[in-house]
Amino acid sequence: MTPRLDGYAALLTGAGQGIGAATARRLASEGAAVLVTDLDAGRAERTAAGIRGTGGTAESLACDVGDRAAVDAAVAHAVAVFGRLDVLVNNAYAYYDDDVALFEDEADEPWARTLDITLTGPHRCSRAALPHLVASGRGAIVNIGSVNGEQDFGGHAYSAAKAGLASLTRTLAGHAGPRGVRVNLVAPGTIRTDAWAGRDAELERAAALYPLGRVGEPDDIAAAVAFLASRDAAWITGTTLRVDGGLLAVNTAFRAAMTGDPESR
């Protein structure tokens, strides 16, 4: 059977590790040629080298999604190397812990930086990629959002940026649909990435809140992205696909509190 992304070319941001790296590997395993971009050139190349080592097609490039020139250069590089661009995965983000007790004491810079990378970054990348996605005849943008964009899990700026990204997904889907480009968003719950290194106890506590009894893995998100990028999702656009183990659908903590059974799910 021909791989469902055979002949596709994809550009991924923030793909040097975690969800981005897993997604690059998944798209490549399904036949896509991938341009792995990351703020850290070394991380990007390690991901790309791993893909090439298993027989896939991958290039790497340093890219700061906060820099329009760098974004334009990354898109141009993908088209020059692969001859086309079919898929854009907007995964790069910034997150700053709220390190002050009161909202009114928060500084401007962390807010501005988080929105610039997490929301305006995908805007820059989508704007640069869109003409090439239109030309491909099967273009798809997949944005990586978060459950934080739908419910309060902390992080004012990050949550606002992810909510904005979900809105941009819908409006851009309306604009790009008549031009043959689909735009969707995957909203992950808690995912076991390097951001959680050394915090196993926290992940264990979090797992108890998920109806499926575990936190997510990067490959869970990668599988959803591959589906939305492929023609299997040819009639899906403007949607948010929650990949969250049921977190937003079921209030496990409330159910446990009402039954008095901490194991209740």
Question: Do 133 and 139 contact (CB within 8 A), yes or no?
Answer: yes
Distance of alpha carbon 24 from alpha carbon 48, whole angstroms: 8
**Domain spans in the chain, listed from the N-terminal domain onward:** 9-194+216-243
Q: Output the tens digit of pLDDT for each of the chain's 265 residues.
A: 899 999 999 999 999 999 999 999 999 999 999 999 999 999 999 999 999 999 999 999 999 999 999 999 999 999 999 999 999 999 999 998 777 889 999 999 999 999 999 999 999 999 999 999 999 999 999 999 999 999 999 999 999 999 999 999 999 999 999 999 999 999 999 999 999 999 999 999 999 999 999 999 999 999 999 999 999 999 999 999 999 999 999 999 888 889 876 665 5
158 has catalytic annotation: yes
Distance of alpha carbon 32 from alpha carbon 6, whole angstroms: 6
From the list 8, 93, 95, 158, the catalytic residue is 158
Which position has the token pair 């819908």? Answer: 170
pTM value is 0.96
Distance of alpha carbon 59 from alpha carbon 99, whole angstroms: 38
Distance of alpha carbon 244 from alpha carbon 170, whole angstroms: 20
Residues 6+ apart with CB under 8 A from 200: none
Angle at which helix 18-29 crosses helix 218-229, to 10 degrees, equals 50
Distance of alpha carbon 17 from alpha carbon 42, whole angstroms: 11
Distances (CA, A) of 249 to 169, 189, 194, 252: 21, 12, 26, 9
What superfamily does domain 9-194+216-243 belong to in CATH?
NAD(P)-binding Rossmann-like Domain (3.40.50.720)
